[in-house]
Structure 1
Amino acid sequence: MIRVLLVDDDALVRAGLRMMLAAADDIEVVAEAADGSEVETLVDRHAPDLVLMDIRMPAVDGLEATRRLRARTGAPEIVVLTTFTTDGYVLRALQAGAAGFLLKHTHPDRIIDAVRRAASGEPVMSPEALRQLIGTVTTGPPDTPAPAPDSEARRLLGLLGERELEVAVAIGQGRTNAQISSELYMSIPTVKSHVSHILAKLDLNNRVQIALLVYRSGRA
């Protein structure tokens, strides 16, 4: 069984998620929290495999709760729930170690599938939101100058092989796997393999973190 902790300050949202996940024979909601301040205690008590975490809560928000939890040894995976695809807090939650995020209006079957994949350590996120987030990361707000290149980001990218670096830069430019495949003349399975190697080599959780790193390096 995949043990899930629900964290959302809206009781109706929690009830809806609980009913949705109850349809899966291999998923069990073991506890609920209405605020991020309750998360660590409930994790200690119930040992969930995955936390579905709302990003906006009144006392301790999902960002801080994610940072605290992922700093611990043996922390469960965390998937952030959000209503807005351009929510700046989501980017920071991914940087804090969340395995990804889902929009709250995501189809129930996709949420169940995402829970299964995230619990097994695979990054998950809503594709439409990923595209918008990468666009936000790589272009920034209007009239905002690009930051100076980050030497640590450049050092990390230097750990990649030539083709891996090309794939990473393409991700930083907001390219999809299909676009990368076409532009770099490699099969989609090869692109996916390079992405997996990049994540492993750089100890990252998802494509957004790759895009952030590329952007910080000045290569986007």
Structure 2
Amino acid sequence: MKLYLMSDDIALRARWIGILSSLHPTTLPAFSLDIPSPSIVMASDRVLTDVSDEILKKLFEQRVMILSTTPSFSEAQKFLALGAMGYGNAMMHESHLYSVYQALEEGKVWLHPDFITMMILQIHDHNNPKEKSLEMLNVLSNREREVALMLGNGSTHQEISDALDITVRTVKAHSSAIYQKLDIKDRLALSLLLNK
């Protein structure tokens, strides 16, 4: 899948090109809809500032990651609601930029873990998950069920590790098993499943 880097900031584009050079990206110095489908686009939020929501929706028919030099949760929500597949810091570590590309290539959403936690907390019903949703967890072991409920509440891997007195590595292993058994991609999808 072809990669496009869209930014009006020369230094930022140069940084992205340096990091992602092995993917042979095409750079765009301004907003453009002239991108063949299917493609992955990593776009600076600055080039999207004056673009209408309707035009953004057209851009987001591609697999688009928005990168911001000043990330905010409200901006992430706006772009994700319009159809972007990811949101993050324009200066994120190079390994994260590769993770972004891989996630989008696989059709997955990419968000910083802190943003995922904030989204989960917004949708979470703090009283109790719905009874019907709890029945779906019957395919899990008792420990996986405990981990799933904590993940669905917005707990981080470290918080679950501390609460259940298990290693973070074990929490991650349980998380992978949970996602596989429930046929979901991540903890945001788990939270949505538990609270629908």
Q: Partner of 2:116: helix, strand, or coil?
A: helix
Choose from 102, 109, 129 the match for 2:88.
Answer: 102
Alignment partner of 1:130 is 2:143: no
For 1:97 and 1:210, the matched residues in 2 are separated by 20
Residue 124 of structure 1: how far off its partner (Å): 3.8
Rounded to whole Å, the distance in 1 between the matches of 2:134 and 2:79 is 24
Counting aligned pairs with the same residue, the percent is 20
User: Is residue 2:171 matched to residue 1:191?
Assistant: yes
> Which residue of 20, 31, 38 corresponds with 1:34?
31
Equivalence for 1:22? 17
TM-score by length of 2: 0.67
Give the 3 Å change call, closer, same or farther, for CA 184–114 of structure 1 in structure 2. Answer: same
Amino acid in structure 1 at the alignment position of 2:17: A
Task: Measure the CA separation in 1 of the matches of 2:53 and 2:94.
Answer: 31
Distance 1:120 1:136, change over 3 A: same
Paired letter, 1:175: S
Q: Does 1:60 align with 2:54?
A: yes
Q: Distance in 1 between matches of 2:170 and 2:58?
A: 36
**Alignment partner of 1:84 is 2:72:** yes
In structure 2, the residue matched to 1:72 is none
* Equivalence map 1:167-206=2 (5 Å): 167-206=147-186
Contact 2:3 2:26 in 1 (8 A): yes
CA distance in 2 between partners of 1:155 and 1:80 (Å): 37
Using the alignment, how far apart are the partners of 1:62 and 1:201 within structure 2?
35
Q: Distance in 1 between matches of 2:52 and 2:72?
A: 17
Separation in 1, partners of 2:111, 2:173: 18
SS in 1 for 2:25: strand
- 3-state SS of the aligned residue for 2:185? coil
Output the CA distance in 2 between the equivalents of 1:5 and 1:150.
45
Deviation at 1:22? 1.1
- Shift in CA distance, 21/81, structure 1 to aligned 2, threshold 3 Å: closer
Secondary structure at the residue paired with 2:24? strand
Shift of 1:167: 1.5
Q: Which residue of 2 aligns with 1:74?
A: none
For these two proteins, the number of residue pairs brought into alignment is 186
**What TM-score do you get using the length of structure 1 for normalisation?**
0.61
Structure 1 vs Structure 2 CA RMSD: 3.9
Residue 149 of structure 1: CA displacement?
3.6
Task: Return the alpha-carbon distance in structure 2 between the equivalents of residues 156 and 97 of structure 1.
Answer: 29
Indicate conservation of the 8 Å contact 2:137/2:145, yes or no: yes
- Which ranges of structure 2 fall in alignment gaps of 5 or more residues? none
